[in-house]
Amino acid sequence: AQKITQTQPGMFVQEKEAVTLDCTYDTSDQSYGLFWYKQPSSGEMIFLIYQGSYDEQNATEGRYSLNFQKARKSANLVISASQLGDSAMYFCAMRGRVSNDYKLSFGAGTTVTVRA
């Protein structure tokens, strides 16, 4: 069974500062993947970034980067130079195999509020 833990229910960050969102996971699989999604107040789910367990480098995508520490089973999302539009809920998710496909298991999410 896989489990995703996001321990920060809510965070405040000042505009233009960086913020780190924690995500730890538990899996017995050797090959797995981690996704981060953003959910603004409008409700849609927006894919941000992906990290594979065998990727040699930490993933980056614009202002988003992943601090992937495999031995510690953590995949923290770093948002640099926060903007007001970054205010949203952020979900960490892990890919797991099912019989003929894969599924994503999600953490409970972290709400980020960016202050001007």
Partner 1 sequence: NAGVTQTPKFQVLKTGQSMTLQCAQDMNHNSMYWYRQDPGMGLRLIYYSASEGTTDKGEVPNGYNVSRLNKREFSLRLESAAPSQTSVYFCASRMDRGPRSPLHFGNGTRLTVT
| Residue 73, Ramachandran bin (φ over 0: left; ψ between -120 and 50: alpha; else beta) | left
Which region, judged by CB under 8 A, interacts with partner 1, from 15-23, 43-51, 60-68, 70-78?
43-51
Which residue, 17 or 102, is less far from partner 1 as judged by CB? Answer: 102
Residue choice 21, 68, 107, 114 for contact with partner 1 (CB under 8 A): 107
**Residue 46: φ, ψ to 5°:** -115, 125
Q: Which of residues 6-35 bind partner 1 (CB under 8 A)?
A: 9, 31, 33, 35
From CA 50, how far away is CA 1, in angstroms rounded?
21
Bridge partners (DSSP) of residue 61 are 64
52 is an interface residue for partner 1 by CB under 8 A: yes
20 and 13 Cβ atoms separated by less than 8 Å? no
Chain residues in the site for partner 1 (CB under 8 A) = 4, 9, 31, 33, 35, 37, 42-45, 47, 50, 52, 91, 93, 95, 98-109
